[in-house]
Structures are given as structure tokens and as C-alpha cells.
Amino acid sequence: MVTLLGISGSLRKGSLNTALLRAATEIKGEGYTLEAAGIHGIPLYDGDLEEAEGIPAAVTALKDKIIAADGVILFTPEYNNGIPGPFKNAIDWLSRPSSDTAKVFGGKPFALVGASPGNFGTLLSQNAWLSVLHTLGCRVFSEKRLMVSRAHTLFDAEGKLTDEATAKRLGDLLAAFGRFAGEFE
């Protein structure tokens, strides 16, 4: 059984990406499991803080989940046509100390998914993540990406995905990424 970890890169309570991740965890595919995680509790990266206090507990907990997973899916918002600061900050912390980078990211399969109220989904954010993931040594899944545009119209008031076409595309991506991640476990 392939173990996947989905990480929402949003801190908002009503986040479309967290809702999309929650929808993903409800899809029961064959051959994989999906656990949800977030970036809450991770402070702004500060090398002085790292030196004085070490790696924060929230970072260590997320790092352990990534290490245990066979593959990771970043559920990324897009802010001002780029990577959201809080999400990039979390990844920066996860790469500390630099001696852990290979253990956490090296050769680990990563996929990109994102939801946005805009017309282009999270195309630019996902493209910006590619150079970060390559720098960290990840195996970037390129067979499928999911960019959900006008996402605010696809969820009900409780944050449940109501669009069947999006749910199918999400399920297809999960199945394909599960197979991809399974090649490297």
C-alpha cells in the first residue's frame, strides 16, 4: 500500500485548497492511502531562531510525516501569481538543517495540485514550485497536474466539493500519482 501525504499550503479556515485536500482524502482509490497535513504553527524562518532554539516542533512533526510518506502532494494556493509566502516558508524550514534535505526531499515523489477563485487555477504558482522542488532533489510528477479554476463555485457552504468533473479529475490524479510514487517505495 502506497502512503501519500497531502499538505495544504493555506492558513485560512475557509481555504479552497484545504477543502480540496479534504475532498481528496474522501476519495477511496486502490493501492494508496492519503493523509492530510497543514502548515499551521510553523513560525517565520529565522536562522537566529534556528540556532538558538533548534527546529520548531511543528516543523519536526511535518518533516516526520514527509519522511514516512511514499509521495507528497502540495495543495498550493496562488498569491499574486506566485507561491504563497507561508507555504514557501514551511518548505524552507523543512529543508533545515541542510543536512536533512536529502532525507526529507531527495528522490521523494511530489505532485502539485491547487484551487483558486481565478480563471487560471494555480498555474503560475505550480510553475514556480517546479524550480524549488528540483532544487530540493524531489521527483516531480509531471504526468498530471490539477489546477482548479473558479474553485469558489465548486464547493458548498460547508466546503464540500460538489463538482463531479473536478472530483473525477482529482481521483484520476490521485490514482496516477499513487502508481508513480509506488515505483520508488
Q: Considering its fold, how many domains does the chain have in total?
A: 1
Is residue 82 a contact partner of residue 128, using CB atoms and an 8 Å limit? yes
Residue 65 sits in a domain whose CATH number is 3.40.50.360
For 31, phi and psi rounded to 5 degrees? Answer: 90, 0
Which pLDDT value is given to residue 134? 97
Which pLDDT value is given to residue 17? 97
In the predicted structure, residue 185 carries a pLDDT above the cut 80: no
Average pLDDT value for residue range 122-146: 96
pLDDT tens across 65-90, in order? 999 999 999 999 999 999 999 999 99
Range of the domain at 57: 6-162
In a domain, 66, yes or no: yes
**How far is residue 170's CA from residue 106's CA, in Å, rounded to a whole number?**
26
Average pLDDT value for residue range 35-44: 98
